[in-house]
Structure 1
Amino acid sequence: MQSSTPVIIVGAGTAGMSAAVELAQAGIYSIVLDEAPKIGGAVFRGPYREAIELPHLDSKLRKKISNIRQQYHDHQTFIELRLNTRVLGPAGQHSLLIRHKEDVSELSYEQLIIATGCHERSVPFDGWQMPGVMLLGGVQLQLKSGLVRPGQRMAVVGTGPLLPLVACQLHKAGVNVLGVYEAGKLSDFAKEGRALLNRPVLALEGMGMLSYLTANSIPMHYGQGIVSVSGDENINKAHFAKYTDDWYPIDGTGTSLELDCLAVGYGFVSRNQLSQLFQLEHDICPTSGLKPQVNVWQQSSQDNIYIAGDSVGILGGEGAMVEGRLAALSIAQNRKILTPEIVNKHAGTYFTLLHKVKRFRAGFDRIGRRREGLLSLLKPNTIVCRCENVPRSAIDDVIGQGVKDITSLKMRTRVGMGDCQGKTCNSYCQDRLGYELKSTDIGHIKPRFPLDPIPFSALFDGVQ
């Protein structure tokens, strides 16, 4: 199928831009849509103002930020960027409804690559809604976008490789980092040594971060985690404890720190709202949440729609790059621009790297697997759904009354009905209901169309 129609790519992060570059190298035009004002996604977007330097970020990250911009610059003849543009959802067959500022329009496509990334998983606990409690992504965004210190005295808590990274970045930015609390035990990391050696350079970088923390007297506490935070109008104290194997706080092991900000990170959830609106086939992943089904070429259950990057499973930057390029190669072959022989030759290296990345990531996934003890951190009056102000006690009541699926839970309590469409509260609700029913077959919170509000001015003028 020879075609000159541009491939539409949703997302200008690592996966989206890698796909656009691979397409450009095959002589295929693309249109890349992103809601942000700069390319790179949340990880590699960098500061919004070019004059800002980022001495607190390591040289490798700064180089990656520069590389993704240089790749676009080298291939921009074939890549049309449409930044500050939101995708509202499908608009009929082979068309997207998009919004740029106050203008709403339709954009047709023959092939579509969805590379919308992920969002952070929220784990509620007593006091988590207080000012000063931040997710790791929000902390990184402040540090990367303009050297904004989230606080003066901070601790980092949760699980996963981002914890020591963010702690190092905070310290280099001038923050007094009081400690890092990793829920996984040190023995868990030792058991996953073989998996982590699939990416030896990344493993060594991690060891370097731990050495930096030790050299700067920042304690790393394994097998410990958050219990609660307290304060008046803002957080001023965080309470920690050792965890059991199921991550229940152990009585009598509590410690407290006086601080003004707490960075919390319990992993990420694939951002799948757009793929759901397309009614693609999805699977339930215990780590990434609901994720689209794809073949080895990132092709979804609709053969002209591809999914790449963290929106189809959390693998990080390397995995996103490979998946974006594989999707592009498949499109180039389907358009008869590249022969199967050339595509397979290029793809061989990508498949090998992707296999290693998946095995590496699986090690961290096993260490950071969410345990039932996290569900015990809420008091009855702890707010679960911030948009609709739903406390844990309301969820307790309807579960006690026999609710058997997430849709019924939503209808009875209004969780997931707010502006964020369940991005914040869905993980807790899924985990809680699944734990109580001892089943994963409980459904999921479905997104609404449009994914973002349409301004009244667009409704008045009509869709262009």
Structure 2
Amino acid sequence: MPQSTLPVVIVGAGTAGISAAAELAETGIHSIVIDEAPRIGGAVFRGPFREAIELPHLDNKLRKKISNIRQLYQDNQPHIQLMLETRVLGPSGDNALLVRHKDDVFEVPYEQLIIATGCHERSIPFDGWQLPGIMLLGGVQLQLKSGLVKPGQKIAIVGTGPLLPLVACQLHKAGVHVVGVYEAGKFSGFAKESRAFLNRPLLTLEGMGLLSYLKAHAIPIHYGWGIVSAKGQDSLNNITVAQYNEDWYPIQDTETDIEVDSLAVGYGFVSRNQLAQLMDIEHDICSFSGLKPQVNEWQMSNQANIYIAGDSVGILGGEGAMMEGRIAALAIAQEIKILSSTAVKKKASKYFNLLNKVKLFRAGFDRVGRRREGLLSLLKPDTLVCRCENVTRADIDKVINQGVKDITSLKMRTRVGMGDCQGKTCNSYCQDRLRQELDTLDVGYVKPRFPLDPIPFSALSEGV
């Protein structure tokens, strides 16, 4: 293939996207990086929007990582065209994306494309989950990072995974009273994964440091515990937690009521791959991260000029995303004859080595935090599942009892997933529920619609 005459287009300015752009720049290849946010770094390393604000909860390691991703861009800025606050609406014909920046809608052509759209949080509905004061864990962290917006004065944290103790420490440093962390996974489960965690010893030590900080400040971690329900009139004022059994069903007579004004809920993430679906990329079904785009070891999809990297192809975190972005960039450099196969393999070897260690490390948390069917029992019949279309658990129960066996039929019968969020909030519950009822992994998925984001009339007014 001859050398590309167009810049490589990268969708996503997080760790995967910026790392890919930097790797391309090091070989003299220009790129266009598109992101809907006002800053680079993604949700993890975007940092505060206003630098003048003192952010005591950001430790030195996190500050350094935020600084590093910005410096990486600055060092390679001559080769990178950054398009921030720009939303990708979907594909436009062959080899072009339709994008919107404010009120302008236009095409961005490409010959090589890297999709690095990241992930979004998995919503776990339970009785009372819609009350004001209840937020997903990543949203709480983003508020703190972006400008020290405190979610409340007295908070509990429930869910599973390494983000729980990290956010607990950040909240405490920001002046919020953290009454406790309720980790659904059992301590014995984490202990059994010690060999997996040793693949990233520095990250493991950082995690142990977080646990030591919580212990020193009398913030308890309750392993094998989780949310049951939340209560309040106009806003949250009380939650019920309980010990979970092996399948994460609340154990009777272990329920405990706690007075709080806010609750952070974190039961994992789902790959954000709506764009990849619209572009007819082949996907596999993954019970942990939702649909998973099919890629080879060089992050190439079934379409030879489209690569997918970062959490949009599987939840690995910042380190893994960086390596996948760089690997995709090297593959493109070889494809367009900028680097030889020998040079690419030599440079990529260290990236593959670290990526494999990250995968082994992350697999340990995935095994402990694998969602169990008990979470499906936390809803009452009138609990909303789809907030966009006001679909309750009872509505879903009814059509399942009538014989619905896949997501598409469920959507047609109840309107679940037809709202503006296109199923981002409700799809995980619906899939888990059908899998439990039908005892099969393949129950379909909510297909995205074009455009991925609404287009305002003002953007279409020219020439009308």
Query: TM class, shorter-chain normalised?
Result: over 0.9
Tell me the secondary structure at the aligned position of residue 135 of structure 2: strand
Show the counterpart of 2:235. Answer: 234
**After superposition, what is the alpha-carbon deviation per residue over 1:187-229, rounded to whole angstroms, capped at 9, x for unaligned?**
0001111111110111111111111000000000000000000
Counting only pairs closer than 5 Å after superposition, residues 183-332 of structure 1 correspond to structure 2 as 183-332=184-333
Tell me the secondary structure at the aligned position of residue 345 of structure 1: helix
Give the letter aligned to residue 5 of structure 1: L
Matched, 1:461 2:442: no
Decide which moves more: 1-10 or 251-260.
1-10
Structure 2: state its 5+ residue gaps. none
- Counterpart CA distance in 1 for 2:363 and 2:205 is 17
**After superposition, what is the alpha-carbon deviation per residue over 1:389-419, rounded to whole angstroms, capped at 9, x for unaligned?**
1110000000000001100000100110000
Query: 1:109 Cα deviation (Å)?
Result: 0.2
Show the counterpart of 2:108. Answer: 107
Describe the shift of the 1:462–1:360 C-alpha distance in structure 2 as closer, same or farther (beyond 3 A): farther
Show the counterpart of 1:365. Answer: 366
Counting only pairs closer than 5 Å after superposition, residues 22-41 of structure 1 correspond to structure 2 as 22-41=23-42
Query: 1:275 Cα deviation (Å)?
Result: 0.2
Tell me the secondary structure at the aligned position of residue 451 of structure 1: coil
Query: 1:462 Cα deviation (Å)?
Result: 5.9
- Counterpart CA distance in 1 for 2:56 and 2:183 is 26
- Counterpart CA distance in 1 for 2:250 and 2:27 is 55
TM-score (norm 1): 0.99
Show the counterpart of 1:382. Answer: 383
Query: 1:460 Cα deviation (Å)?
Result: 2.7
- Counterpart CA distance in 2 for 1:208 and 1:90 is 45
Query: 1:2 Cα deviation (Å)?
Result: 1.4
Show the counterpart of 1:349. Answer: 350
Show the counterpart of 1:17. Answer: 18
Matched, 1:450 2:451: yes
Give the letter aligned to residue 428 of structure 1: Y
**After superposition, what is the alpha-carbon deviation per residue over 1:274-316, rounded to whole angstroms, capped at 9, x for unaligned?**
0000011000111111010000000001010000000000000
- Counterpart CA distance in 1 for 2:398 and 2:463 is 45
Give the letter aligned to residue 116 of structure 1: T
Give the letter aligned to residue 242 of structure 2: A
Query: 1:55 Cα deviation (Å)?
Result: 1.6
Query: 1:134 Cα deviation (Å)?
Result: 0.4
- Counterpart CA distance in 1 for 2:98 and 2:55 is 37
Tell me the secondary structure at the aligned position of residue 461 of structure 2: helix
TM-score (norm 2): 0.99
Tell me the secondary structure at the aligned position of residue 421 of structure 1: coil
Give the letter aligned to residue 86 of structure 1: R
Show the counterpart of 1:44. Answer: 45
- Counterpart CA distance in 2 for 1:160 and 1:60 is 20
Describe the shift of the 1:280–1:134 C-alpha distance in structure 2 as closer, same or farther (beyond 3 A): same
- Counterpart CA distance in 2 for 1:2 and 1:148 is 48
Counting only pairs closer than 5 Å after superposition, residues 106-185 of structure 1 correspond to structure 2 as 106-185=107-186
Describe the shift of the 1:215–1:276 C-alpha distance in structure 2 as closer, same or farther (beyond 3 A): same
Deviant stretches of 4+, over 2 Å? 457-460
**After superposition, what is the alpha-carbon deviation per residue over 1:73-111, rounded to whole angstroms, capped at 9, x for unaligned?**
111000000000000000000010000000000110000
- Counterpart CA distance in 2 for 1:167 and 1:454 is 38
Give the letter aligned to residue 101 of structure 1: K
- Counterpart CA distance in 2 for 1:197 and 1:348 is 21
Tell me the secondary structure at the aligned position of residue 77 of structure 1: helix
The answer as to whether partners of 1:4 and 1:28 remain within 8 angstroms in 2 is: no
- Counterpart CA distance in 1 for 2:459 and 2:9 is 23
Give the letter aligned to residue 415 of structure 1: V
Describe the shift of the 1:389–1:202 C-alpha distance in structure 2 as closer, same or farther (beyond 3 A): same
Give the letter aligned to residue 285 of structure 1: C
The answer as to whether partners of 1:85 and 1:100 remain within 8 angstroms in 2 is: yes
- Counterpart CA distance in 2 for 1:253 and 1:13 is 42
Show the counterpart of 2:397. Answer: 396
Show the counterpart of 1:58. Answer: 59
Tell me the secondary structure at the aligned position of residue 39 of structure 2: coil
Give the letter aligned to residue 58 of structure 1: D
- Counterpart CA distance in 1 for 2:356 and 2:4 is 32
Decide which moves more: 451-460 or 431-440.
451-460
Query: 1:58 Cα deviation (Å)?
Result: 1.1
Query: 1:457 Cα deviation (Å)?
Result: 2.3
Give the letter aligned to residue 400 of structure 1: N
- Counterpart CA distance in 2 for 1:354 and 1:300 is 18
Query: 1:132 Cα deviation (Å)?
Result: 0.5
- Counterpart CA distance in 2 for 1:83 and 1:320 is 20
Identity of aligned residues (%): 75
Give the letter aligned to residue 247 of structure 2: D
Tell me the secondary structure at the aligned position of residue 119 of structure 1: strand
**After superposition, what is the alpha-carbon deviation per residue over 1:258-285, rounded to whole angstroms, capped at 9, x for unaligned?**
0000000000000010000001100011
**After superposition, what is the alpha-carbon deviation per residue over 1:302-347, rounded to whole angstroms, capped at 9, x for unaligned?**
0100000000000000000000000000000111111111111110
Give the letter aligned to residue 241 of structure 1: A
Give the letter aligned to residue 422 of structure 1: G
The answer as to whether partners of 1:159 and 1:265 remain within 8 angstroms in 2 is: yes
Structure 1: state its 5+ residue gaps. none
Describe the shift of the 1:462–1:396 C-alpha distance in structure 2 as closer, same or farther (beyond 3 A): farther
- Counterpart CA distance in 2 for 1:37 and 1:18 is 18
The answer as to whether partners of 1:4 and 1:29 remain within 8 angstroms in 2 is: no
- Counterpart CA distance in 1 for 2:6 and 2:398 is 54
- Counterpart CA distance in 1 for 2:463 and 2:183 is 52
Show the counterpart of 2:440. Answer: 439
- Counterpart CA distance in 2 for 1:455 and 1:130 is 30
Give the letter aligned to residue 386 of structure 2: C
**After superposition, what is the alpha-carbon deviation per residue over 1:229-260, rounded to whole angstroms, capped at 9, x for unaligned?**
00111000010000010000000001111000
Give the letter aligned to residue 161 of structure 1: P
**After superposition, what is the alpha-carbon deviation per residue over 1:20-75, rounded to whole angstroms, capped at 9, x for unaligned?**
00000000000000000110000000111122232211111111111111111111
- Counterpart CA distance in 1 for 2:313 and 2:72 is 24
